[in-house]
Amino acid sequence: MRLRCTFRGAVLTVPNAERLLKSGPSATRRRLRRRLATIAGQDAGWSLHWLKQAGDELRPNEIVALLQAPDIVVELVCAQRAFLEEVLVSGGACAKAGARLAAIRKPAKEASPMPAAAPANDLLLKLTSRHRQDIELIKRLQSELSEQHILVAQLRHEIAMLQDSGEPSAPRAGDRKFRRLKREFSRHFHPDSRPPGDAERERRERVFQEFWPIVEEIERS
């Protein structure tokens, strides 16, 4: 009769009768129990035969040693990857149930690779870059708005001076300048000259919406 008994842990021992009964087929369990009781009552116990040596690597489901008794062979099988660190009972010797046969060492854990940079870091960098671009755009728009404020103030002043002078040609000169201003302002800031969704169109809309009412107010004055 041949039985297979797996083991894991830091020590390899001779399995007891209960464990061997669970390893055998149920149909032969009664006969196996009687045979194991006979082996337990004998001084000789199990004869040990090593298939591996100290220092060998043990692979899962690999037979490490055999325990032999009349009519029974027990295969001691490693259940996980390990190393046979030290043999405590030499081959050919006899051992009884529970005897320590060898020390087992688990392989050292491999150092885990460094984790990749979190996607959140990339997102933060993108947001920071976008924030800087927005700040630069705001500063540029503020500068342009300031220039337009100055232009409108100058035009108001010129129209007021022409109106106060009372000269017949003054209104016509003012009208020509004003019409030129409207054309230039519309050419530079009317949003319809840019495609929908364009960032420049949005910028022009803000400027146009702020200053066009002022231009119309001057025209009515």
Domain residues for the domain of 127 are: 119-220
Query: In sequence order, what are the residues at sequence separation of 6 or more whose Cβ sits closer than 8 angstroms to the Cβ of residue 133?
Result: none
Label residue 221 by pLDDT band (50, 70, 90).
Answer: low
The Cα 72–Cα 61 span in angstroms is 20
The per-residue pLDDT for range 83-95, each reduced to its tens digit, is 999 999 998 888 8
pLDDT digits (tens, 9 = 90+) for 6-16: 888 889 898 88
212 in any annotated domain: yes
Q: What is the pLDDT of residues 134-143, one digit of tens each?
A: 888 888 877 7
Asked, for residue 114, whether it belongs to a domain, the answer is no
Among 105, 138, 170, where does a domain finish?
105
Residue type, 40: A
DSSP string spanning 181-196?
Answer: HHHHHHHHH-GGGS-T
Residue 118: per-residue pLDDT: 56
Residue 97 lies in a domain: yes
* DSSP structure class, residue 55: T
Q: Give the residue from 50, 75, 105 where a domain finishes.
A: 105
Q: How many domains does the chain have?
A: 2
Name the residue among 158, 155, 152, 138 with its Cα closest to residue 206: 138
Q: Looking at the structure, tell me whether residues 100 and 132 fall in a common domain.
A: no
CATH of the domain at 22: 2.40.50.100
Instruction: Assign 170 a pLDDT band (cuts: 50, 70, 90).
Output: very low
Domain boundary among 49, 77, 105: 105
Same domain, 13 and 44: yes
Q: Quick one: which of 94, 90, 88 has its CA closest to 45?
A: 94
Q: What is the band of 3 on the pLDDT scale with cuts at 50, 70, 90?
A: confident
Global model pTM greater than 0.75 = no
Instruction: Report helix, strand or coil for 58.
Output: strand
pLDDT at 51: 92
Asked whether residue 99 is domain-assigned, the answer is yes
pLDDT at 164 over 70: no
In a domain, 113, yes or no: no
Sequence-ordered list of residues with C-beta below 8 angstroms from that of 144, at least 6 positions apart, any chain: 207
Instruction: Decide which of 65 and 210 is more confident.
Output: 65
On whether residue 110 sits in a domain, the answer given is no
Do 180 and 96 sit in the same domain of this protein?
Answer: no
> Is pLDDT above 70 for 107?
yes
Q: Confidence class of residue 50 from pLDDT cuts 50, 70 and 90?
A: very high
Residue 28 and residue 54 in one domain: yes
| Residue 148 in this model has a pLDDT that exceeds 60 | yes
Question: Do 37 and 130 lie in a common domain?
Answer: no
**Amino acid residing at 36:** L
| Residue 35 is assigned to a structural domain of this protein | yes
Q: Quick one: tokens of 78? A: 């490693």
189 located within any domain: yes
